[in-house]
Amino acid sequence: MYKHIVLAADGSDHSFRAAWHAATLAALSRGCRVTLLFIPRPDEQRGEGLQKDRLAAVQMERREKLSRHEALFSEKEIPYTVAVKDGNPGPVIIKFANEQQADLVILGSRGLNKLQQLVLGSVSHKVMKRANCPVMIVK
């Protein structure tokens, strides 16, 4: 059914529920692999000297926020990799999924209200509109 699922994960409860669905679908699809796509918080500090510290901080943030996700995939013996990409989440998820020719993108819904969606737009809405594959939004 699916060969490659991209899971946009930020460590929230919403993204963990999305991870559970990704693991369930991957388990039903023989030979399916999952990529956990993590987009760290933007770095306000700039400077070449701080780059090494930034890399260490991003890796620590990733381990903290995705430990439940990774444990879920390990426990269910689902092959997975973790990709870390900087940038604005919506466009980064779209670009990554399209370049990787993903069969499915799964992400959690943060639950913005109608006014917030109108003013800010939601990541899930942007991904749903522009990804070249089906998108599952988990509440």
132 vs 104: CA distance, rounded Å: 9
Q: What is the pLDDT of residue 119?
A: 45
Angle between helices 51-75 and 13-28 (to 10 degrees): 50
- State which of 33-37, 61-65, 86-90, 114-118 shows the largest mean pLDDT: 33-37
> In this predicted structure, what is the pLDDT of residue 120?
47
Q: Which fold has domain 4-138?
A: Rossmann fold (3.40.50)
* Percent of the chain whose predicted confidence (pLDDT) is above 90: 61
Q: Is the pLDDT of residue 30 over 50?
A: yes
The predicted model scores a pTM of 0.86
State the distance between the two ends of the chain, measured CA to CA, in whole angstroms.
Answer: 23
Query: Residue ranges of the domains in the chain?
Result: 4-138
CA-CA distance, 34 to 73, in Å (whole number)?
Answer: 9
Tell which wins on pLDDT, 47 or 100: 100
**What count of Cα atoms within 13 Å lies in the side-chain half-sphere of residue 24?**
8
| Stretch (H or E) spanning 35 | strand 33-38
- pLDDT tens, position by position, 86-132: 889 999 999 999 999 999 999 998 754 555 455 445 888 899 999 99
